[in-house]
A and B are shown apart, each in its own frame.
Chain A
């Protein structure tokens, strides 16, 4: 078989490319939803932890957050995914929902620590300036501290979301038809591993390059204010 015959067998015949298309859709959907959950929850945890670090308040919430971070970061993502799918949703098969939740909660832990370090890197004079104008603590957080912290940690966040995207490939463990599983479905019909896998790898790569480009653009846009 020559190249074009193999290509046709793996991707054209019986519209097998659809396995890849559906896979891309699911992979991106999981990444986006998980990132959204991760950002929302991660920022909340970061602000709670940073507030505790700086003021000594919110002791109980901080303790809960620390416990959460320890558990999430101390266990493998695959195990977390399996627990959500097989234990929490044991009676119903909800692979997509399980992936949203597992990856979202997982990402939140990493986002939280990135954002917290960003908040802690902002000079205390910024909080004092906001407060001395009569702004409340949370107002100053929202209008003064977080925007600066976000800008500072954007590269680290980009990195986290790239890791997240690639890590969704473990969805194969719960037979969720993501991009990686799509390549395996094709292989199981064509008995060809190389073509589908290389295609899958190339697609991941292109998405990562695109993501990097977009975040880089956003970062430059935010930074151009400064000089």
Chain B
């Protein structure tokens, strides 16, 4: 039994109200409403092209919603007057393709944002980077360049880079989908440890094992809406929605 069920859920961190997103004629999100509370680990699943990435990327405005509202820590971030950069400092993001900065060493990748945004001095950021490298198990790679790392190592560094900003929530968009199978485990392990520290996480994933074991809630997105959401133990055992049944029977 993991410790997740004992976890006390905190206040609402992200409040999504009727979120819509069109790309031209393509209505990808058609009114998504959900709340993400402090300490939750939310797994987003659904068929390819259903808008999982679009939903996740809307949460930090990498995609600009065409309708609805998103409140982050009580502030409506879809409001044009909101300081987007300030808001993003509190929302870490990890990409499928890692997106490390290839011209910087691993350590400088981690230090760049906190230093340039003047949130830490170079010394503070350096110490924080060392600490994070230790945590993701790659202290010896501090001075390596991203090209010298394996996919799994790259993703662990990308997680460390996002954590350097001390975000209140971390978004993951299929963090293990670009990895060779033997490297998936090491990244999921780091994510699991992160979840155990109480980090709020929203994870788009095809790793049903992770969703079942680590997530506190699973959300099924299909046809632009949330078709079903539940605690994993219910979500994976009894589904009301027929398309979720079909989907799970295919991926499990």
A interface residue numbers (CB < 8 A to B): 123, 125-126, 128-136, 139, 143-144, 147-148, 151, 225-227
Q: Which residues of A contact B162 (CB under 8 A)?
A: 132-133
Which residues of B are found within 8 Å of A136, using beta-carbon distances? 85
Is B145 within 8 A of A125, CB to CB?
Answer: no
Known A-B contacts A132-B93, A133-B88, A226-B145; the reply to A148 vs B112 at CB < 8 A is: no
Q: Which of B41-49, B94-102, B210-218, B233-241 forms contacts with chain A?
A: B94-102
- Across the interface, B117 reaches (CB within 8 A) one of A125, A132, A135, namely A135
**Residue in B86, B95, B97, B147 whose CB lies within 8 Å of A134:** B86
Q: How large is the interface on B (under 10, 10 to 19, 20 to 34, 35 or more residues)?
A: 20 to 34
Q: For B80, what are the chain A residues with a Cβ–Cβ distance below 8 Å?
A: none
Instruction: Let me know if B88 and A144 touch, CB within 8 A.
Output: no
Chain A: minimal CB distance from B82 (Å)? 13
A128-B95, A129-B95, A227-B148 are contacts. A134–B113 as well, Cβ < 8 Å?
Answer: yes
| Chain A residues within 8 Å of B107, by CB | none
Q: Decide if B250 is an interface residue (CB 8 Å cutoff).
A: no
Q: CB distance B112 to A143 under 8 Å?
A: yes
Those 10 A-B pairs whose CB atoms lie nearest each other, nearest first: A134-B89, A129-B99, A133-B113, A132-B93, A125-B99, A134-B88, A226-B147, A225-B145, A147-B103, A134-B85
Is the pair B117, A134 in contact by a Cβ cutoff of 8 Å?
A: yes
CA distance A136 to B87 in the complex (A): 11
Is there contact, CB below 8 Å, between B60 and A132?
Answer: yes
| A136 to B99 alpha-carbon distance, docked (Å) | 17
Contact of B101 among A134, A144, A151 (CB under 8 A): A144
- Provide the residues of chain A in CB contact with B103, threshold 8 Å: 147-148, 151, 225
Residue with the highest number of chain A CB atoms closer than 10 Å, among B90, B99, B148: B99
Do B145 and A135 touch across chains, with their CB atoms under 8 A apart?
no
Q: Beyond A125-B97, A131-B85, list 18 extra A-B contacts (CB 8 Å).
A: A123-B97, A126-B99, A126-B101, A128-B93, A128-B95, A129-B99, A129-B100, A131-B62, A132-B60, A132-B92, A132-B93, A133-B89, A133-B162, A133-B165, A134-B89, A134-B90, A144-B101, A226-B147
CB distance from B75 to the nearest CB of A (A): 15
Q: How far is the CA of A123 from the CA of B99 in the complex (A)?
A: 9
Q: Which residues of A contact B147 (CB under 8 A)?
A: 226-227
Assess A132 versus B88: contact at CB under 8 Å? Given A143-B112, A225-B145.
yes
Contact of B85 among A129, A135, A151 (CB under 8 A): A135
| Interface residue? B91 (CB, 8 A) | yes
Chain B proximity of A161: nearest CB distance (Å): 22
A134 contacts B102, C-beta separation under 8 Å? no
Kindly identify which residue among B88, B95, B113 contacts A125, using a CB–CB cutoff of 8 Å.
B95
Determine whether the beta carbon of B95 is less than 8 Å from that of A139.
no
For B206, the chain A residues whose CB sits under 8 A away are none
Instruction: Tell me whether A133 and B102 are in contact in the complex, defined as CB-CB below 8 angstroms, given that A225-B145, A226-B147, A227-B147 are known contacts.
Output: no
Which of B102, B117, B161, B165 has the most CB atoms of chain A within a 10 A radius of its CB? Answer: B102
A sample of 23 inter-chain contacts (CB < 8 A) reads A123-B99, A125-B97, A126-B99, A128-B93, A128-B99, A129-B95, A129-B99, A129-B101, A132-B62, A132-B162, A133-B88, A133-B92, A133-B113, A133-B161, A133-B165, A134-B86, A134-B89, A134-B165, A135-B112, A139-B116, A143-B112, A144-B101, A227-B147
- Measured between beta carbons, the chain A residues less than 8 angstroms from B102 are 148, 226
B:157-175 near A, CB below 8 Å: 161-162, 165
